[in-house]
């Protein structure tokens, strides 16, 4: 994806291109209800599932005809929430590109389901996307923030994640993680196991330890292994 194809706040335009589109605002993955707020993203990761698929884990098409309001996202989640163990803001895009709708949806979820934890899966670039520190606004609403660390090396991050903001995206992500760790119950760094050497994994663990986060190494998700 071409870096020049970005909006002023760094989000990529036309991410959904000519894909088939739908109104899949929420979908189930096991005990989790996943909420799909946007297809916008400030990264263009080489390993992004969106490069090879239109859906995830048996969901409907996740390219959106339009972005949902908070009320629509809540209603879509509520209708599939039977037996739900966790709500997750994680769609075919970066949920912090819609932080206002995310917070409003989280408030509705917490009011209806006070005992069910809420997680955000994010690239951690909220400060650059939103131009402010939104972590205080997440307090009391978000139980876990899972941040894609991907690599211990800023230059490698730029090569692999191709952020619209360049290398400062990596440092902004680490700052965001530290502030989340100070205010929210759980912070998780994630990385794709197959993309790291043993030495890089150890460095990722060290970064997580210093930040107050847990490191989760996950397997690469492709079109062919999303059911695993």
**DSSP code at position 135:** H
Among 11, 24, 36, 44, binds ligand SF4 (CB under 6 A): 44
**Does residue number 45 form part of the binding site for ligand SF4 (CB under 6 A)?**
yes
102 vs 41, 48, 82, 134, 153, CA distance in Å?
Answer: 15, 22, 21, 11, 30
Stretches 43-51, 77-85, 179-187, 198-206: which one binds ligand SF4 (CB under 6 A)?
43-51
Count of residues of this chain found to bind ligand SF4 when the rule CB under 6 A is applied: 11
Return the number of the residue (54 or 94) whose C-beta is nearest ligand SF4.
Answer: 94
Q: How many CB atoms lie within 10 A of CB 191?
A: 21
Q: Are 176 and 183 in contact (CB under 8 A)?
A: no
Note the Cα 209 to chain centre separation in Å.
Answer: 21
Lookup result for tokens 């695993």:
228
How many angstroms separate the CA atoms of 131 and 222, rounded? Answer: 33
Q: Least distance (Å) from ligand SF4 to the CB of residue 15? A: 8
**Does residue number 67 form part of the binding site for ligand SF4 (CB under 6 A)?**
no
Restricting to residues 87-106, name those near ligand SF4 by CB under 6 A. 93-94
Determine the length of the chain: 228
How many angstroms separate the CA atoms of 172 and 219, rounded? Answer: 25
Restricting to residues 23-42, name those near ligand SF4 by CB under 6 A. 41
Q: Least distance (Å) from ligand SF4 to the CB of residue 222? A: 12
Q: Using CB under 6 A, list all residues that contact ligand SF4.
A: 41, 43-45, 48, 50, 93-94, 123, 148, 161
């Amino acid at each position: 994806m071409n870096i020049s194809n970005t909006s002023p706040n760094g989000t990529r335009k036309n991410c959904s291109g000519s894909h088939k589109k739908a109104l899949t605002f929420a979908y189930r993955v096991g005990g989790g209800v996943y909420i799909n707020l946007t297809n916008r993203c400030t990264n263009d990761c080489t390993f992004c599932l969106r490069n090879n698929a239109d859906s995830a884990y048996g969901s409907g098409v996740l390219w959106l005809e339009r972005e949902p309001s908070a009320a629509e996202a809540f209603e879509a989640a509520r209708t599939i929430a039977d037996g739900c163990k966790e709500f997750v803001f994680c769609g075919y895009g970066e949920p912090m590109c819609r932080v206002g709708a995310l917070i409003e949806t989280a408030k509705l979820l917490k009011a209806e389901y006070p005992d069910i934890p809420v997680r955000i899966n994010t690239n951690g670039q909220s400060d650059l996307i939103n131009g402010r520190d939104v972590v205080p606004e997440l307090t009391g609403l978000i139980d876990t923030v899972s941040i894609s660390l991907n690599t211990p090396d800023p230059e490698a991050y730029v090569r692999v994640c191709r952020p619209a903001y360049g290398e400062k995206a990596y440092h902004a992500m680490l700052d965001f993680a530290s502030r989340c760790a100070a205010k929210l119950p759980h912070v998780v760094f994630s990385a794709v196991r197959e993309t790291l050497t043993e030495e890089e994994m150890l460095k990722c663990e060290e970064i997580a330890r210093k930040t107050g986060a847990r490191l989760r190494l996950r397997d690469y998700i492709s079109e062919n292994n999303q059911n695993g």
